[in-house]
Amino acid sequence: MAEIAEQGGGGSKDGKVRSKKMSTKVDFTAMVDLAFLLITFFMLTTTLAKPNIMPIVMPEKKDLKKEDLEETKESQVLTLMLGANDKVYYYEGITDAKLDSTDYSAEGVRKVILGKKDRVKAQWGEDEKDDPKNPGQKKIYSKLSVVIKPTKESRYKNLVDTFDEMKICNVARYVMLPISKVEEDFIKNPAAGLKFSAEDQAAAASGAK
Amino acid sequence: MPKHKPKRSSPSLDMTAMCDVAFLLLTFFILTAKAKPQETVTVDTPSSISEAKLPEVGTLTILVSKEGNVYLDPAGAPARRALIATMNTQYNMGLSTAEQNKFVNMGSFGAPSGDFKRMLSAEGPERAKMSTGIPIDTVDINKSELASWLHQARLAQFNYKKEAISEGKNPDEVKEYAIVVKADKDTPFSAIEKVINTLTDINLNKFNLITSQEGDPNKSE
């Protein structure tokens, strides 16, 4: 590829020495190699996509007044307990609660939430409230309340996946609360049933620390 | 009959156009490149369908490693300078001006106040070894170092914002800190719980979790 001027052949037949004519072509190969090397380097070191964020709002820790709280029916509540090894334990309501477990796939926890949502809709109907994003318009909200209780053995991915499911299933009311001793025992021994004492229920009603 | 000879093309190519393109792309990448600040820990974030983007300015990142160690990364040099000056006196770290300047220019940090000076004077892998995370006291919020780092960082940014706006800066360019939690997907929940409890204890009930993009099943249908 490279043009190399021939040496020694410059003399013409009659013996006169003429000045050599330089080729006007420059070999760009090495330069292109270098340029692409640098491009590759910069492409790999740049952070191209900005990461996404998921906004979370936690309930305030101060003692809530009774009028600030909204009551919810037992049959409208689904409690998800995030367990070890990517398992979700869940039960509905409080009285005679049955423990069941599933995983985080679309066929797993999403079906549970959507199934409960349909049953709540069939029994209680839906709320129609003002849409905060479009003033003047109404939006339909499900009456379902989901309580998310991660255990110590769960990992961060489980929590994010669960919040994600809330968004996918369009659950308007959900809250993350610390798990209670009673519920940890319930996971270990589902046959014994969920037995909240009167004090536990009072604590839960006053904002659940 | 004349013989039909196939045309022989010269093996040397004209590289000029290719060179032009290569350098154009190179220029583009150099100009858009932003040096990645060296992270103390590498964090593999979980994915979500959320489409909200991380704000460009004014983020206070709380990094939680796989092991549950907590690191902080407040953005913006003026706030960092004010922050380290306050924390230096509050915890008697005994940092020199040079060490404080080092702090301003580094990425995320996390060490107990007692080890902070040694952590700053170390370099490279040695510094990573010293960065054992900011201690959290879950019982007494007033003793929690994470809580005071967060509080002082927000105060520093708030003061800087007030000052910058009074000097006629665009209010869109200086904002109060948005709290961003960046944790690894395998971080145990007990570590996350400590961070969230600290945040709610100091009345920071709104924060953001960093995630990577994942397809929305409702939209793909």
A16-66: per-residue pLDDT in tens? 667 777 777 777 888 888 888 988 888 777 765 677 888 888 877 776 666
Closest CA to A112 of A159, A84, A79: A79
Instruction: Flag if A51 and B210 touch (Cβ within 8 Å).
Output: yes
* pLDDT confidence of residue B119: 84
pLDDT at A200 over 70: no
* pLDDT confidence of residue A14: 59
Distances (CA, A) of A54 to A9, A85, B158, B179, B182: 75, 24, 24, 11, 11
Higher-pLDDT residue of B193 and A141 is B193
pLDDT band at A5 (very low <50, low <70, confident <90, very high): very low
pLDDT at A8 over 70: no
Is the minimum CB–CB distance between B17 and chain A shorter than 8 Å?
Answer: no
Residue with tokens 């960082």: B153
Burial track B146-185 (b if 16+ CB lie within 10 A, e otherwise): bbbbbebbbebbeebbeeeeeeeeeeeebbebbbbbbbbb
Average pLDDT, integer, range A201-205: 59
* pLDDT confidence of residue B37: 59
Task: Report the range out of A10-24, A102-116, B32-46 with the highest average pLDDT.
Answer: A102-116
Q: Is the CB of residue A24 less than 8 Å from the CB of residue B188?
A: no
Instruction: Flag if B187 and A42 touch (Cβ within 8 Å).
Output: no
Task: Measure CB to CB from residue A43 to each of B29, B49, B218 and give the nearest one.
Answer: B29
* pLDDT confidence of residue A39: 87
ipTM of the complex: 0.76
* pLDDT confidence of residue A11: 46
Instruction: Please list every residue in chain B whose beta carbon sits closer than 8 Å to the beta carbon of residue A154.
Output: 188-189
Average pLDDT, integer, range B211-220: 74
pLDDT at B159 over 80: yes
Distances (CA, A) of B9 to A183, B6, B14, B128: 81, 9, 12, 59
Q: What pLDDT, in 10s, does the model give residues B34-89? A: 665 566 677 788 888 887 888 877 888 888 888 888 888 888 888 888 888 888 88
* pLDDT confidence of residue B34: 66
* pLDDT confidence of residue A104: 84
Instruction: Flag if B189 and A156 touch (Cβ within 8 Å).
Output: yes
What is the domain partition of chain A in residue ranges?
Answer: 71-205
Instruction: Flag if B210 and A52 touch (Cβ within 8 Å).
Output: yes
Give the mean pLDDT of chain A.
77
Q: To probe the interface with A, which of B13, B16, B19 has the most A CB atoms within 10 Å?
A: B19
Q: Which of residues 70-89 of B touch A (CB under 8 A)?
A: none
Q: Which helix (H) or strand (E) holds A196?
A: none
Cβ-based neighbours of B100, under 8 Å, separated by 6 or more:
B81, B84, B85, B88
Q: What pLDDT, in 10s, does the model give residues A83-100? A: 888 888 888 887 777 888
Sign of the CA dihedral with B91 first, then B93, B95, and B100 last: negative
Closest CA to A186 of A103, A89, A104, A109: A89
**Rounded Cα–Cα distance for residues A87 and A108 (Å):** 10
Joined together, the tokens standing for residue B212 give 């990577």
Residue type, A49: A
